[in-house]
Amino acid sequence: MGDWNTAGAQITRRRRATFAAGKGARLLPLNGSSAAAAHIPVAAEYGASQGRGKREHSLEIIRRTAKIEKKKRRNDFTEQLSCHRTQESLLSSGSGYKNYRGVINWCVVMLVLSNARLFLENLLRYGVLADPTQVIPLFLKDPYSWPAMCLLIVGGAVVLGTYTILLLKLYSYKDVNLWCREMSTQKAKKLARSLSCPAVQHLNGGEQQVCYPGNLTLKDIYYFTFAPTLCYELNFPRSPNIRMSFMFRRLFEMLFFTQLLVGLTQQWMIPVIQSSMKPLEDMDLSRMTERLLRLAVPNHLLWLLFFYWFFHSSLNFTAELLRFGDRQFYKDWWNSETVTYFWQNWNIPVHKWCIRHFYKPLLRKGFSKMVSQSAVFFLSAFFHEYLVSVPLRMFRLWAFMGMMAQLPLAWFVGRFLRGNYGNAAVWLSLIIGQPIAVLMYVHDYYVLNYGQETN
Ligand SMILES: CC(C)(COP(=O)(O)OP(=O)(O)OC[C@H]1O[C@@H](n2cnc3c(N)ncnc32)[C@H](O)[C@@H]1OP(=O)(O)O)[C@@H](O)C(=O)NCCC(=O)NCCS
């Protein structure tokens, strides 16, 4: 009823407005487009019937306006009653709906809940195994038995890793200085006189630029040795100052994540690995798969933590301390839709070294892209195997094969999978691929060193 009364009041108001228009007053729309539409014929009629009597003409206009208003009201009312229109459901791809923020939050909540359950189950089954102080006495008490052996292996891997990094750095240092020497010889030949270049040039901004051979100093090589990069440059980009708060945050993260990594390995990884030995020995396929999937979660979590600890916290800490400007240690590998994109973006220092000192030189020598890429993966596979086999003192090729398998995997994902499917395939290869290699090595190590004791 209220609606009807309101509509009636509107008619009265509009009639007054029309009268006013007849008298030459300016009409203002009362109800948006409807009012505006009503005024157009009113004005037209008024103009056309200038010759007729004013009163007759006004009545005619009122009649017409009323008719139009009535029709409009009827339409408005139908519109008010209607509650349907042609539209797609939100989850249909045709709807164009893209905001899945709530679903992502749901995934996070589910992830936290399911992991909390796993955490509780682990605590109930094994009690508290994590002990950060366990590391030092184990080294001192009985260094040649498990798990002190494990610590020696980790120590061995760290030392080998450090020497491998040093080797790659020195290779880069040698290459860059060779390029500089060749360029200066060429320039000198062109100028037909010996090239004299000041060791240090001062640019307009007050910045110092080192020229070859002015870079060949102990200070320079020591800076490069500790800088968070594998590729040598005569003049590295430098940050203006050390941000203390940034540096201490990274240092805190380094210490915190080291403890977390050790604790999670003791509490979560080692018990699952130990419980996987029997199914592996018996070649019980269903149990092996179950243990593999059980290992996949802690292994993946540790790998992600390691990524953050090393590529974000540690490298940024070192860079800040040395005022090293280029902080691009990783790119958005988590969005990889192809395996190639993952290898280009997850470890930028190694990728840059591979491109600059191995891949491009091979291309320049006339090797095809395919052969050069295979050669890079072969070299990388060799180093992966070397870093695992030597500390374990057994040669099994699992890491080598895992790395070489990236080539056919990259081809398969690039050829058959796109977008989210490609991204899921990359994640799956990371989540499942690594624990397979871990289990293989642990099993072989166990059989080699403890198999006879068990028998
Ligand atoms: C093999 C690998 C180097 C290929 O990298 P890629 O980026 O796919 O290679 P591309 O063919 O796209 O080319 C890379 C560069 O070579 C250049 N290039 C390509 N073809 C070229 C040619 N015929 N001549 C000269 N340069 C060429 C490109 O322009 C590009 O240069 P840019 O980097 O300056 O842009 C990379 O996948 C890789 O680093 N793999 C191993 C990673 C690894 O083992 N990491 C260990 C982490 S633990």
Calculate how far, in angstroms, residue 259's C-alpha sits from the geometric centre of ligand 1: 36
Which residue's alpha carbon is nearest to atom 35 within ligand 1? 355
Ligand 1: which of 328, 351, 362 to mutate, most ligand atoms within 8 Å of CB?
351
359 Cα to the center of ligand 1, angstroms: 6
CA of 401 to the centre of ligand 1 (A): 21
The residue nearest atom 44 of ligand 1, judged by CA position, is 380
**For ligand 1, atom 17: residue with the closest CA:** 360
Establish if 406 belongs to a structural domain. Answer: yes
Ligand 1 midpoint to CA 378 (Å)? 14
Q: 43 alpha carbon to ligand 1 midpoint, in Å?
A: 73
- Residue whose CA lies nearest to ligand 1 atom number 11: 369
Question: Tens digits of per-residue pLDDT, 39-72?
Answer: 444 444 444 445 557 778 888 888 888 888 887 7
pLDDT under 70: residue ranges of the chain: 1-52, 77, 134-150, 192-200, 202-206, 451-455
Smallest CA separation from ligand 1 atom 15, residue: 355
Pocket test for ligand 1, best of 331, 338, 347, 354 (most atoms within 8 A of CB): 354
User: Which atom of ligand 1 approaches the CA of 384 most closely?
Assistant: 48
Q: How many domains does the chain have?
A: 1
- Residue 360 Cα to ligand 1 middle (Å): 7
Question: Atom of ligand 1 at shortest distance to CA of 403?
Answer: 44
Of ligand 1's atoms, which has the minimum distance to the CA of residue 376? 1
To test the pocket of ligand 1, the residue of 336, 360, 406 to mutate (highest count of ligand atoms within 8 Å of its CB) is 360
Give the chain as a 3 state SS string: CHHHHHHHHHHHHHHHHHHHHHCCCCCCCCCCHHHHHHHHHHHHHHHHCCCCCHHHHHHHHHHHHHHHHHHHHHHHHHHHHCCCCCCCCCCCHHHCCCCCHHHHHHHHHHHHHHHHHHHHHHHHHHCCCCCHHHHHHHHHHCCCCCCHHHHHHHHHHHHHHHHHHHHHHHHHHHHHHHHHHHHHHHHHHHHCCCCCCCCEEECCCCCEEECCCCCCCHHHHHHHHHCCCCCCCCCCCECCCCCHHHHHHHHHHHHHHHHHHHHHHHHHHHHHHHHHHHHHHHCCHHHHHHHHHHHHHHHHHHHHHHHHHHHHHHHHHHHHHCCECCCCCCCCHHHCCCHHHHHHHCCHHHHHHHHHHHHHHHHHCCCCHHHHHHHHHHHHHHHHHHHHHHHHCCCCCHHHHHHHCHHHHHHHHHHHCCHHHHHHHHHHHHHHHHHHHHHHHHHHHHHHHHHHHHC
Name all residues whose Cβ lies below 6 A of ligand 1.
340, 343-344, 347, 350-351, 354-355, 359-360, 363, 369, 373, 376-377, 380
**pLDDT given for residue 192 in this prediction:** 58
35 in a domain, yes or no?
A: no
List the residue whose alpha carbon is closest to atom 27 of ligand 1.
Answer: 360
Ligand 1 atom nearest residue 358's Cα: 3
Q: Which domain holds residue 284?
A: 132-454
Look at residue 21 and tell me if it is in a domain. Answer: no
Whether 384 is a known active-site residue: answer: yes
pTM for this model (two decimals): 0.76
Cα(330) to ligand 1 centroid in Å equals 15
- Nearest Cα residue to atom 28 of ligand 1: 360
- Kindly report the protein residue whose alpha carbon is nearest to atom 33 of ligand 1: 355
- Active-site residue among 39, 351, 357, 384? 384
Best of 344, 353, 386, 430 for a ligand 1 pocket test (most atoms within 8 Å of beta carbon): 344
**Residue 119 lies inside a defined structural domain of this protein:** no
CA of 229 to the centre of ligand 1 (A): 17
